[in-house]
Chain A
Amino acid sequence: MSITRDEVAHLARLARIALSDAELDHLAPQLDQIITAVAQVQEVAADGIPPTSHATGLTNVFRDDEPVGCLTAAEALDQAPAVEQQRFKVPRILGDAS
C-alpha cells in the first residue's frame, strides 16, 4: 500500500477539505491505486536530467511601470459572500482572546 487512510485524512486537512468518513473510505483506496500507477515515473533513468516546470523557456517578463485601470471597490466586492464597511467580511481568524 502506498498511502493509508490516515495519511489521506492528514492531506485533506492540509488542503482544507472537511472530508466525511464515508468519503475517506471511498477516496483512500482510489488514491492508493492512482499513486501506485503514477509511481511508474520512478522507473525512468533520469539522473542528471534537469526538471522542466514550464515548456516555453520564458524567464521573467516585465511591463513598463505605468498605471493602468483596475477594479473599483464596488466591483471587487460585488460577488463577496459578506461585506461590511466596503470591506470583505470574513469569519474570525484568531482563537478566543481569553
Chain B
Amino acid sequence: MTELTRLTAAELSAALATGEVSATEVTRAHLDRIAAVDDRVHAFLHVAAQSALAQAARIDARRTAGEPLGPLAGVPIAVKDVFTTVGMPTTCGSRILEGWHPPYDATITTRLKQAGAIILGKTNMDEFAMGSSTENSAFGPSHNPWDLARVPGGSSGGSAAAVAAYEAPLAIGTDTGGSIRQPAAVCGLVGTKPTYGGSSRYGVVAFASSLDTPGPFGRTVLDAALLHEAMSGHDPCDSTSIDAPVPPVVAAARQADVSGMRIGVVTELSGAGYQPGVLSRFAEAVELLESLGAKVTEVSCPHFSYALPAYYLIAPSECSSNLARFDAMRYGLRVGDDGVRDAEEVMALTREQGFGAEVKRRIILGTYALSSGYYDAYYGKAQQVRTLIIRDFDAAFGQVDVLVSPATPTTAFPIGERADDPMAMYLADLATIPSDLAGNAAISVPCGLAPEDGLPVGLQVMAPALADDRLYRVAAAAEAAFTDRWGQPLLAEAKGLRA
C-alpha cells in the first residue's frame, strides 16, 4: 500500500470517492510512512495515530451511508504546531508550551475536521514561527528530504518536510515573513500565502498579528488550491478576517492559462545576494511563461530594498507585545515558584528558561524599537516604509496582473550554517517579505534545480489582495509546462530518503 502515499490529494480524493480505497487504508499508509522515515526527517512533533484512524473510520462510515462528502474527506493532512488542536498538544516549538493541551480548536482546525480531512499530527517549526530553518525549534530541527543534512526552510519547515517526504499529501502552515513560501521553495513544493485576512487567525498562536497568514502546502498546484479553498473564508472570531468570498482558486488551478496575462519581473528582487543557479532557473521560468502567451515586462518597486529592515522592526515589535502573554500564570511552563519568589521573578525565570535564543532576541529588539525615544526612529519609520511598499505594489499592479521573482535568494542551506548568525538567517526571507508587509497574496511553485547543487528553486508569483486566483493560474500553467519538459514532477528527483 506504500504507493498510496505517492498520490496527490486530488488523486486520493478521486479514489476515495469511487470507493477504490478507504480513508482507513489511506491513513494507515501515511502513518506507516511516518513510522518508516520520520526518525530521519523529524517533520512531526506529535503523531496522532489513534485519533487519525478513528477520524478515518468515521469518514468511511459516512461514505458507506451515502452521505455527500467534500473533496478533502478522507485525505490526510499535517498541521503546523502553531494551530490549536483539542486532544493534541500545541507547543509552537517552544519549551514554554511543552505539554500544553489547548482548550479549543483553531477555526482552521475546525474547518479541516468539518471537511473530513484526517489530521495526522502536529509538525515541527521554528519556535513561535521565528526563523527560516526549523533550527530554532526547542525540539531539534527537521531535515530536508532532498538532502537530510540541509534545512527544510522555516518556520513551517516540518509541514514542508512532511509533504516532501510523502508523509502527508497536504499540510498547513503560517506565513509571517515567508514561512510558507520559503520552505515550499527549498523543499520543491507548492506553498501559498493567501491574502492577509483571507484565512482565519483564530486559534493560531500569535507572532506578529498584522502579518500572520495561514496557508496551504501541496505537491501540486491543484492540491494547494483545494486546501486553500477548504481552509479559507470569513471568520467572525477573527476581527481582521475579510468578509468577502474566497477567490476561485480551484477553478484557476484547473484553468492553468496565462495567455494575455501581464507579468512583471521585479527589478529589486534579483541580482546581488541571489545564488546564480536560482537566478538562471528563475530566468528560464520567465521565458517559459512568455512562451505560454504571457506579456512580460520589468517593473521597479524601489522601496522593496527596505522591506527586510522594516520587517525586522515591525515583526519583533508585535512579537514583544504578543509574547507577553506567556507569563507563567494561567497555562504553560512555570519555573521557580518556591513560595518565596514573587510573581515577577517567577515570570522572568520562566521566560528565561522557556524561550530560546531567537525568541529572546526578537522580544528584546521589539522592546527596544517600541521604547520611548526610539519609537519614531525605528517602529514609526518602519511603518512609513510599509506604506511606501504598499504604494510600490499599487503602482506595479496598475501596469501588470501579477509580479514574479525568485521565492528565495538561495537553495536549502546546510543545518548549522546560519544557526548563530541571525542576519544571515534573516536574508532567507528577502524576496517573500514585501507581500507580507502589503498583506497581498503570493505563491511559490517549483521551477527546477539549481545546477550548482541540484536543489529545488521556487518561482514566486505575487498578486493583489483578494486576487489569489491569479497565483494559481500562473503557477498551474508553469507547473504543467515544466512537468512536460522534465517528464516527471520535480519531487521525483529528491534523493535524501533513498538508500
Contact = CB atoms under 8 A, between A and B. Distances in A.
Given A53-B383, A58-B197, A18 B349 contact: yes
Interface string A5-39: 00110011111111110010011001101110111
A56 interface: yes
Contact of B306 (A34, A40, A54, A81): A40
A97 interface: no
Given A38-B309, A82-B337, A93-B343, A17 B383 contact: no
A91 interface: yes
B110 to A, nearest CB: 14
Interface string A52-93: 111110100101000000010001101111100000101111
Nearest to A36: B423
Given A44-B384, A91-B346, A34 B351 contact: no
B367 A11 contact: yes
B363 A17 contact: yes
A17 B347 CA distance: 8
Given A38-B313, A58-B197, A93-B343, A17 B355 contact: yes
A31 B365 contact: yes
Given A37-B309, A91-B342, A19 B352 contact: yes
B146 interface: no
B103 interface: yes
Given A27-B360, A38-B378, A58-B240, A44 B330 contact: no
A53 B101 CA distance: 32
Contacts of A41: 306, 309-310, 313, 378, 381-382, 385
Nearest to A13: B348
Nearest to B305: A40
Contacts of B101: 78-79
A91 B313 contact: no
B197 A56 contact: yes
Interface string B242-269: 1000000000000000000000000000
A2 B483 CA distance: 50
Interface in B218-244: 236, 239-240, 242
B386 to A, nearest CB: 4
A92 B385 contact: no
A98 B364 CA distance: 35
A58 to B, nearest CB: 6
A13 B307 CA distance: 30
A44 B102 CA distance: 43
A14 B337 contact: no
Contacts, number: 184
B45 to A, nearest CB: 17
Give chain B's interface secondary structure class: helix
What is the size category of the interface that chain A forms with chain B?
Answer: 35 or more
A18 B102 CA distance: 27
B181 interface: no
A34 B334 contact: no
Contacts of A88: 329-330
Contacts of B385: 41, 44, 46
A76 B103 contact: yes
B397 interface: no
Nearest to B210: A54
Nearest to B355: A17
B337 A92 contact: no
A33 B381 CA distance: 19
A42 B310 CA distance: 10
A57 to B, nearest CB: 9
Nearest to A81: B334
B368 A90 contact: no
B367 A15 contact: yes
Contact of B384 (A15, A34, A50, A75): A50
A32 to B, nearest CB: 11
A95 B347 CA distance: 16
B344 interface: yes
Contact of B361 (A27, A82, A93): A27
A19 B26 CA distance: 48
25 contacts: A14-B371, A15-B351, A15-B364, A18-B351, A18-B352, A26-B357, A27-B360, A37-B312, A38-B310, A39-B378, A42-B381, A46-B387, A52-B390, A53-B383, A54-B240, A56-B196, A56-B439, A76-B330, A78-B103, A91-B337, A91-B339, A91-B341, A91-B346, A92-B342, A94-B342
Interface of A: 3, 7-8, 11-20, 23, 26-27, 30-31, 33-35, 37-44, 46, 49-56, 58, 61, 63, 71, 75-76, 78-82, 88, 90-95
Interface of B: 100-104, 196-197, 210, 236, 239-240, 242, 303, 306, 309-310, 312-313, 320, 324, 327-334, 337, 339, 341-349, 351-352, 355, 357, 360-361, 363-365, 367-369, 371, 377-378, 380-388, 390, 422-423, 426, 437-440, 465
Pairs A-B, 4 closest by C-beta atoms: A55-B439, A51-B383, A81-B334, A46-B384
Given A37-B423, A38-B309, A53-B383, 20 more contacts: A14-B367, A17-B348, A18-B348, A26-B357, A30-B361, A33-B422, A35-B368, A38-B310, A39-B309, A44-B303, A44-B388, A46-B384, A50-B387, A55-B386, A55-B440, A56-B196, A63-B236, A80-B330, A90-B329, A92-B342
